[in-house]
């Protein structure tokens, strides 16, 4: 009896550890992907580059265009875009190689960091958004 | 001992320790005001004879004359930087990798020295085929910087690449590199005699802090020479 309780406890703890590990990994994956693909332009603190590259930090765009961001990451963007009242117009390259789960983690990372406190995405949600991406410009 | 006197005594000790410490750091800082920066690059001894005595002068690597065109279609030459110190770099407007970082750091230098008439910033494009005057104009306008202070220059491709060599900055067309060009993110600090006085990593905040301090030293040195 005592032994089985111990075993249950042991596996319970193990499951808990794996679970939390999994969560922190997801957080880390979002951050890692940001560092790898986005930081060079949007900067460490998400501030962007004055007039040329819009900020991620406290950007209204993240909320007002929430449903378009999955496609934006995959296919990039060009043409004028207004972020926090300032117009930007420069090409952003897409990262075509990112999987749905990676895009979800990346989006959740930017929506909840850099002073942002926005709604998270589920993977199903992101998959649905990616299914109906507009055809990228000039491609 | 009267606890009140005891208290005052302790306060005095703390206060005087503080004063001593700040005096020490202050003297350290005033020492650094006398600091000088090295002259980088090759140097050659040159002998000349004055009043029958042989004097050995050292000739340092000097940036040769140049002529480029900036975002306002103005010619930018050695005359533009005459008597001034300047910071220079090599970039291109469509560069996805290190340039945004370099430009955000260069902006810090711009903000720190925009009111100082003895400082100029000079950014060369290494993609003159794409980065025409109009493209550079749009780029500079979006950064909201003044042409007289920060020249973005374009020109003959070979002249630009040759100048990069003179500044010891590595640049190269490279299909394998992101955006089609390989280049280093170096910022070079040049004095009023067109000698190279410092080399910094334009993508690293701490190194750019060092550059901003070194510019201070160089400006002081310039003032001394003028006196």
Would you say A17 and A75 are in contact if contact means Cβ atoms under 8 Å apart? Answer: no
pLDDT of residue A4: 63
Q: What sign results for the dihedral spanned by CA atoms B101, B105, B107, B110?
A: negative
Looking at the domain that runs over A28-131, which CATH code has it been given? Answer: 1.10.760.10
CB contact under 8 A, A43 and B142: no
Distance from CA of B203 to the nearest CA of A (A): 10
pLDDT of residue B27: 42
A111-120, B53-62, B174-183, B197-206 — which is least confidently predicted?
B174-183
Which residues pair with residue B62 across a beta bridge?
A: B195
Mean pLDDT within A76-96: 95
Output the six-digit token pair for B169.
Answer: 């900055």
Mind listing the pLDDT tens digit for each residue in B116-130? Answer: 999 999 999 999 999
Would you say A55 and A79 are in contact if contact means Cβ atoms under 8 Å apart? Answer: no
Nearest to A49 among B97, B103, B141 (CB): B103
Nearest-5° angle of CA A110, CA A55, CA A94?
65
Q: CA dist A128 to A104, A108, A125, A134, B26, Å?
A: 12, 16, 5, 13, 63
In a domain, B132, yes or no: yes
In a domain, B164, yes or no: yes
Q: Is B108 on the interface with A (CB under 8 A)?
A: no
Would you say B132 and B154 are in contact if contact means Cβ atoms under 8 Å apart? Answer: yes
Instruction: Look at residue B22 and tell me whether its pLDDT is greater than 80.
Output: no
pLDDT of residue B45: 81
Instruction: Look at residue B29 and tell me whether its pLDDT is greater than 80.
Output: no
Domain harbouring B180, CATH code: 3.40.30.10
What is the phi/psi pair of residue B58, to 5°? -105, 130
CB pairs under 8 A between A and B: 33
Instruction: Look at residue B85 and tell me whether its pLDDT is greater than 80.
Output: yes
Q: Which helix (H) or strand (E) holds A33?
A: helix A2-37
Mind listing the pLDDT tens digit for each residue in B128-178? Answer: 999 999 999 999 999 999 999 999 999 999 999 999 999 999 888 888 787
CB contact under 8 A, A50 and B144: yes
Packing angle of the helix pair A2-37, A100-111 (nearest 10 deg): 80
Nearest to A40 among B97, B107, B143 (CB): B97
In a domain, B151, yes or no: yes
Mean pLDDT within A114-123: 96
Q: Is B100 on the interface with A (CB under 8 A)?
A: yes
Q: Which residues of A touch B (CB under 8 A)?
A: 40-41, 43, 47, 49-53, 91, 93
pLDDT of residue A131: 95
Local confidence band at B57 (pLDDT 50, 70, 90 cut-offs): confident
Please report residues of A whose CB lies closer than 8 A to that of B103.
49, 52
Measured CA to CA, the distance from residue A27 to residue A21 in angstroms comes to: 10
Share the mean pLDDT of chain B. 86
CB contact under 8 A, A43 and B104: yes
| Residue B153 structural domain | 66-226
Q: Helix, strand or coil for residue B189? A: strand
**Residue among B122, B136, B127 at smallest CA distance from B78:** B122
Q: Helix, strand or coil for residue A81? A: strand
CB contact under 8 A, A51 and B94: no
Number of domains present in the structure of chain B: 1
Task: For chain B, give the percent of residues with pLDDT over 90.
Answer: 60
Question: A95 or A24: which carries more pLDDT confidence?
Answer: A95
In a domain, B122, yes or no: yes
């Amino acid at each position: 009896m005592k032994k089985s309780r111990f075993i249950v406890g042991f596996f319970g703890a193990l499951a808990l550890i794996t679970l939390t590990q999994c969560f922190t990994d997801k957080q880390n994956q979002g951050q890692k992907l940001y560092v790898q693909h986005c930081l060079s332009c949007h900067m460490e603190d998400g501030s962007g580059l004055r007039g040329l590259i819009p900020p991620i930090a406290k950007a209204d765009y993240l909320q007002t265009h929430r449903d378009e961001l999955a496609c934006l990451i995959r296919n990039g963007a060009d043409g004028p875009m207004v972020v926090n009242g300032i117009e930007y117009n420069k090409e952003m390259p897409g990262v075509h190689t990112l999987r749905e789960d990676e895009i979800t983690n990346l989006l959740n990372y930017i929506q909840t960091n850099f002073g942002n406190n926005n709604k998270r995405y589920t993977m199903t949600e992101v998959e649905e958004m990616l299914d109906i991406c507009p055809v990228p410009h000039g491609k | 001992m009267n606890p009140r006197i005891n208290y005052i005594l302790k306060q005095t000790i703390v206060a005087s320790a503080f004063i001593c410490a700040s005096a020490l750091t202050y003297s350290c800082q005033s020492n650094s005001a006398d600091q000088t920066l090295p002259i980088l690059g090759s140097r050659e001894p040159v002998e000349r004879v004055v009043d029958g005595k042989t004097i050995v002068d050292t000739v340092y690597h000097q940036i040769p004359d140049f002529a480029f065109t900036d975002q306002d279609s103005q010619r930018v030459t050695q005359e533009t930087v005459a008597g001034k110190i300047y910071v220079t770099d090599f970039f291109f407007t469509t560069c996805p990798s290190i340039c945004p970082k370099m430009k955000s750091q260069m902006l810090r230098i711009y903000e720190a020295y925009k009111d100082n008439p003895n400082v100029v910033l000079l950014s060369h494009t290494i993609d003159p085929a794409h980065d025409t005057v109009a493209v550079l104009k749009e780029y500079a306008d979006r950064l909201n910087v003044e042409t007289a202070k920060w020249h973005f220059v374009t020109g003959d491709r070979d002249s630009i690449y040759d100048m990069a060599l003179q500044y010891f900055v590595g640049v190269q067309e490279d299909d394998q590199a992101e955006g089609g060009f390989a280049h280093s993110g170096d910022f070079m600090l040049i004095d009023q005699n067109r000698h190279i006085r410092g080399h910094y990593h334009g993508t690293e905040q701490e190194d750019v802090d060092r550059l901003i301090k070194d510019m201070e030293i160089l400006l002081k040195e310039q003032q001394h020479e003028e006196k």
